[in-house]
């Protein structure tokens, strides 16, 4: 019951079994291995850069949150300060409540005009002149 030798034998790979000789196959495998190694290094470098970018994004987001909280605090503080200043003016009882409020608003308006570009400050100036004229009409 021995199998026949001709049935079990397959042709052994010879020097040109894959259409190339062994030295060409080894060179191809070496090139592919080198490419795979370069690809792995590039991939590792990109992963490291991605982690660094994510860390920088997280830090920038945290800083932005802190800045927005500070802006809210400053906004609340300025509102309280204006309320306090107006309260002090009313407590003096000089009858200058309206004039002190206009003085504070004019000071704030001047600061805003300094910060805005020329094109926008003209329209604000016109609005403030109209507001001042209407305030003068109501005083008389």
What's CA 21's distance to the chain center, in Å?
Answer: 58
pLDDT in tens, 66-88: 999 999 999 999 988 888 887 77
**pLDDT range class, residue 140, cuts 50, 70, 90:** very low
Tell me the C-alpha distance between 89 and 95, whole Å. Answer: 9
64 assigned to some structural domain = yes
- The count of structural domains within the chain is 1
Give Cα 120 to chain centroid, integer Å. 27
* Full-model pTM: 0.43
End-to-end Cα spacing for the chain? 130
Phi and psi of 73, rounded to 5°?
-65, -45
The answer to whether residue 56 is domain-embedded is yes
- The domain of 68 spans 18-73
Q: Do the domain assignments include residue 122?
A: no
Q: What is the pLDDT of residue 116?
A: 76
Statement: residue 63 has pLDDT above 50: yes
Is 108 within the bounds of a domain?
Answer: no
User: Could you report the per-residue pLDDT of 1-23, keeping only the tens digit for each?
Assistant: 455 554 555 555 555 556 678 88
Say which residues have a Cβ less than 8 Å from residue 28's Cβ, sequence separation at least 6.
20
């Amino acid at each position: 019951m021995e199998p026949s030798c001709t049935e079990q034998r397959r042709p052994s790979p010879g020097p040109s079994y894959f259409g190339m000789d062994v030295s060409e196959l080894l060179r191809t495998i070496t090139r592919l291995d080198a490419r795979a190694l370069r690809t792995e290094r590039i991939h590792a470098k990109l992963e490291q850069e991605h982690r660094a970018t994510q860390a920088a994004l997280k830090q920038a987001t945290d800083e932005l949150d802190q800045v927005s909280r500070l802006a809210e605090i400053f906004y609340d503080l300025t509102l309280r300060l204006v309320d306090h200043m107006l309260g002090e003016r009313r407590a003096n009882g000089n009858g200058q409540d309206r004039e002190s409020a206009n003085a504070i608003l004019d000071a704030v308006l001047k600061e805003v005009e300094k910060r805005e570009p020329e094109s926008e400050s003209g329209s604000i100036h016109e609005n403030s002149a109209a507001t001042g004229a209407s305030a003068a009409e109501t005083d008389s």
